[in-house]
Amino acid sequence: MNGMKLDYLIDTNIFISLFNDQLSEPIPDSQLGYSIITKIELLSFTSLSEEEEKLIRTSLKSLSEISLNSNIADIAEKTIQLRQKYNLKIPDAIIVSSAWETQSILITNDQQLKKINEIEIISLGTKTP
């Protein structure tokens, strides 16, 4: 992640909506990435089929992965600040910190994350059932 600059960091809920064909807007065609936390969240569903796992892994391969190893101290400090200020769950705070660290716009439909002022956040429309 050293010096990596992404245009957008995609939150877990956007991937879930995408895989369930629930997005009514496209993900921007730009320099995209995701946090390693998103990969963990997506691939740790107990009911995940082999086909779903393959789809997730293939989709993630085309994007930049933000790991925690290179700038963990900076991400940790940002995570602490965000948890204290917004009472976020640790995975959400790490994802937001990853966007902050990479100077990325976070794409999320999580209502709690939309309240964060430290980074720019956009949402994507979803289809109504």
Total of domains in the chain = 1
More confident residue, 31 or 73: 31
**Has residue 93 been placed in a domain?**
yes
The C-alpha atoms of residue 26 and residue 24 are separated, in whole angstroms, by 7
In a domain, 1, yes or no: no
CATH number at residue 36: 3.40.50.1010
In whole numbers, what is the pLDDT of the chain averaged over residues? 93
Q: Is residue 84 part of a domain?
A: yes
pLDDT digit string (tens) for 3-43? Answer: 577 999 999 999 999 999 999 999 999 999 999 999 999 99
Enclosing domain of residue 31: 8-122
In a domain, 52, yes or no: yes
Residue 54 lies in a domain: yes
Give per-residue pLDDT as tens, 51-71.
999 999 999 999 999 988 767
The model carries a pTM of: 0.92
Greater confidence (30 vs 73) lies with: 30
CA 106/CA 113 separation, integer angstroms: 9
